[in-house]
Amino acid sequence: MRRMRHWGPGLLLLSPSLILLAVFVYGLIAWTMKVSVSDEHTARGSEGFVGLQNYIDLFTNDINGRFTHSLKNLLIFTVVFLGGAMLLGLLWAFILERGVRGEGFFRTIYLFPMAVSFVASGVVWRWLMNPGKDANAGGINAVFTGLHLDFLQNTWWTNADWGMAAMAMPAVWQLSGYVMALFLAGFRGIPKELREAAAVDGASTYRLYRNVIFPQLTPVALSALIIIGHMSMKMFDLIMSVSGAQWLTEVPAVYVWQALLTSDYSKAAAISVILLLLVAVVIVPYLIYTNRAEKNR
Amino acid sequence: MGFTRRAAVAVVGVAALLTASACGGSDDGGSGSSKVEVFTWWADGGEKAGLDGLVNQFKTDCSGQEFVNGAVAGGAGSNAKQVLASRLQQGDPPDTFQAHAGAELLDYIDAGQVEDISSDYDSWGLKQAFPQGLIDNLTVDGKIYSVPANIHRANVVWTNKKVLADAGVTADPATLDDFFAALDKVKAKGIASPLAIGKDWTQLMLFESVLITDLGPQKFTGLWNGGTDWNDPTVTKAIGDFKKLLTYTNSDRDALDWTDAEKMVMDGKAGFQLMGDWEAADLDAKGFSDYGWFTFPGNNDTFQWLADSFVLPKGANNPDGTKCWLKTVGSADGQKAFNTKKGSIPARTDADPADYPKYQQSAMADWKSATQVPSCAHGSACSQGWQGAANSALGAYSTNQDDAALQKALAAAAQQFASK
């Protein structure tokens, strides 16, 4: 009873959010999983339990290999997006950290694109990445023709093989600044004493960064990877505003929406669950890692 | 003391939250017996004007009934369809809703969500007023479930007269070979992509037109009801012709919508575009008058139609009011009020052409005499799932040009969706 008095009120205060979470997050995840193993491919409703058939069909029996194609698109997008944003973010943070005049100004400039929504920037990038060439050129291609650099003209996201790399450009542009801010905070969080100690020991600048500073940035880099990584896997709005929903640029999140529009609830649910698992594969080890790190502190 | 105060705060907080969440739950539709809630996605433009015209007619014809506008805007109907699906599942249907006539209704019919109104067709005289081909396309297992409000035609090629005159194309091409010759002439004038086209669904429209030419109307209709095999060699030939047509089109097609392709025609960067006949109203609205049109070469007198229609949902609050609405929609006055404003033609064959603009007059004449076939890109030939699969297959073909894969994908789609 005494223990109840101790944690009872706290639990009671937490209970609304716990209940809401249980119902609207975990309850609905469970519901989605249930739909994904049922035969509900039309507006008619469920026609029974089919086990994992919907998942198997996605990989082996989807017309034109549509789902595996969307996974391939997502892979290219994610690799380019993560690689680009991490490299640029680290580079900018490094330059600013070395001491640049007007640091606050540059920080704002780099961070600013993050304030724009993907939909708004997607509309602009749709125009910038106009695939028309020569006489029909628009956007970046028109700049290239104007500079007589015609050979640089590109089909951008309409390229069948590497279009998704172009699609990642707006995402890199938007989130590099954010990664930079994370890294900058990481640099600033490293105690001065460590640098001074390294200097006293006669370490070169290269050795200082290689052996002292960068190792300490690992947790920051990991956080940045997780944050933009899970954004990348759920990417929907940017692609919808640049290309609209179509085969060429379809990723799983867009496919879910397309399946819902055609009342194929089971397929949509199955893709959603796969997407959730993909994100979980990345996030859960990270959560375990940070939990352990906090306990050891 | 400390405990009681903390407990009190907690209880009050929880109670407040629960009350707040409970408030959102009750939402009574409030449809009384004399209200007719009409669910559409016609929220602006010519469509809204057409709906308003229809409502005025409804007020005259059905005194005592009150029109309630249940329009859900946005997304070319995709938002509305989501809302509708959840309302139907909850057993809370509107008194009537808009849906493309034909196969797109199959999901609702199979789910038992809409009522058979065949007997009303007889009493309202609609079987005589609509052409037989349309009645055949609308009939599912001997029953009819919807009243079309308008008719659009999908298989029309729009042209820039000046571009064609400069290239020496004087007669409308009557066959595919004539069409290729005309395209070559325009291309010889330095126009790189004489046939303008946009993304997946516009390519599906073009492909369907080629199918009508190569298969004829009967076999084409059979593709959608199981009568014709998609692995048929004539389909292979059609894919070949379609591939050749694509060589005359703009390479940035997947980045364009139909209005972008329309602009290429208006700007003289293309000579031809295949599009539904809403393009006539759109070109007029944009002030471009130097356009011509002809039925897709080789389609002869085939009229590929699509239509918006209204239904009587099962469990509607006010079925008498709904029937009066449906009667108005099908009536000569209702069709006139709607179509003169929306830029489409009436489904009835007894309308007076003098009430309509130039293009519509020619379409109305064709509608009476032509052979009607449905369209998959616009939902009169195939269910929504089938339509999505076909769009995706055409989108893939646009980039990989793999004939065998396209035919296989379309055959697989037919197998998956035709039986349902």
- The per-residue pLDDT for range B325-347, each reduced to its tens digit, is 999 999 989 999 998 888 889 99
Helix (H) or strand (E) holding B15, with range, is helix B2-23
d(CA B202, CA A160) in angstroms, rounded, equals: 19
Lookup result for tokens 């389909």: B235
pTM: 0.84
Q: Which contacts qualify for B214-222: CB closer than 8 Å, 24 or more apart? A: B214/B238, B214/B241, B214/B298, B217/B302, B217/B371, B217/B373, B220/B302, B220/B373, B221/B137, B221/B373, B221/B374, B221/B381
Q: Is residue A17 part of a domain?
A: no
Tell me the count of A-B CB pairs closer than 8 A.
119
Helix (H) or strand (E) holding B405, with range, is helix B403-418
Q: Give, as one character, the DSSP assignment of residue A70.
A: H
The answer to whether the Cβ–Cβ distance between A136 and B6 falls below 8 Å is: no
d(CA B127, CA B142) in angstroms, rounded, equals: 13
Instruction: State the Cα angle at A288 between A285 and A294, rounded to 5°.
Output: 140
Q: Give, as one character, the DSSP assignment of residue A106.
A: H
The CATH number of the domain holding residue A89 is: 1.10.3720.10
Chain A closest CA to B28's CA: distance in Å?
23
- pLDDT tens track, chain A, 297 positions: 667 778 888 888 899 999 999 999 999 999 999 999 998 887 777 778 888 999 999 999 888 889 999 999 999 999 999 999 999 999 999 888 887 788 888 888 888 888 889 999 999 999 899 888 777 778 888 888 889 888 888 888 888 888 899 999 999 999 999 999 999 999 888 888 888 898 888 888 888 888 888 888 888 998 899 889 989 998 999 999 998 888 899 999 999 998 988 888 899 999 999 999 998 988 888 888 888 887 776
Contact B356, B367 (CB under 8 A): no
- Which among A12, A45, A136 is the nearest to B111, CB-wise? A45
Q: Is residue A267 part of a domain?
A: yes
Residue B127 CB partners (closer than 8 Å, separation 6+):
B121, B135
Q: Is residue A11 part of a domain?
A: no
Closest residue by Cα to residue B101 from B394, B375, B328: B375
Contacts of B6 in chain A (CB under 8 A): 9
d(CA B37, CA B69) in angstroms, rounded, equals: 6
Q: A131 and chain B: CB distance < 8 Å anywhere?
A: yes
What percent of chain B has pLDDT above 90? 45
The answer to whether the Cβ–Cβ distance between A131 and B13 falls below 8 Å is: no
Q: Give, as one character, the DSSP assignment of residue B377.
A: T
d(CA A45, CA A130) in angstroms, rounded, equals: 42
Contacts of B420 in chain A (CB under 8 A): 41-42
| Exposure b/e, A257-293, CB count within 10 A at least 16 = b | bbbbbbbbbbbbbbbbbbbeebbeeeeeebeeeeeee
The answer to whether the Cβ–Cβ distance between A250 and B392 falls below 8 Å is: yes
Q: A263 and chain B: CB distance < 8 Å anywhere?
A: yes
Q: Is residue A19 part of a domain?
A: no
The answer to whether the Cβ–Cβ distance between B14 and A264 falls below 8 Å is: no
The answer to whether the Cβ–Cβ distance between B85 and A264 falls below 8 Å is: no
Task: Name the residue of chain B whose CA is nearest to A137's CA.
Answer: B252
Q: A192 and chain B: CB distance < 8 Å anywhere?
A: no
Its domain, for residue A129, covers 64-296
| pLDDT for position A216 | 87
Q: Give, as one character, the DSSP assignment of residue A113.
A: G
Contact A39, A49 (CB under 8 A): yes
Closest residue by Cα to residue B193 from B255, B261, B254: B261
**AA identity, residue A62:** D
Q: Is residue A2 part of a domain?
A: no
| Ordered structural domains, chain B, with CATH | 37-152+306-368 (3.40.190.10), 153-304+376-418 (3.40.190.10)
> Residue B371 in 3-state DSSP?
strand
Q: Give, as one character, the DSSP assignment of residue A26.
A: I
Domains of chain A: total: 1
Strand order in the sheet with B156-160: B195-196, B272-275, B156-160, B291-295
Closest residue by Cα to residue B375 from B144, B140, B130, B102: B102
| pLDDT for position B9 | 60
Residues of chain B with pLDDT under 50: 1-2, 21-32, 420
Contacts of B413 in chain A (CB under 8 A): 63
Chain B closest CA to A185's CA: distance in Å?
37
Compute the radius of gyration of chain B from its Cα atoms: 24
Task: Name the residue of chain B whose CA is nearest to A65's CA.
Answer: B409
Region class of B43: left (phi > 0), else alpha (psi between -120 and 50), else beta: alpha
The answer to whether the Cβ–Cβ distance between B254 and A250 falls below 8 Å is: no
Lookup result for tokens 């009568």: B227
Within B24-160, residue ranges assigned H as helices are 45-61, 78-89, 106-110, 118-124, 126-129, 132-138
Q: Is residue A256 part of a domain?
A: yes
ipTM exceeding the 0.90 mark: no
Contact B50, A52 (CB under 8 A): no
Contacts of B110 in chain A (CB under 8 A): 42, 44
Q: Is residue A127 part of a domain?
A: yes
Contact B179, B297 (CB under 8 A): yes
Q: Is residue A215 part of a domain?
A: yes
The answer to whether the Cβ–Cβ distance between A130 and B383 falls below 8 Å is: no
d(CA B36, CA B230) in angstroms, rounded, equals: 43
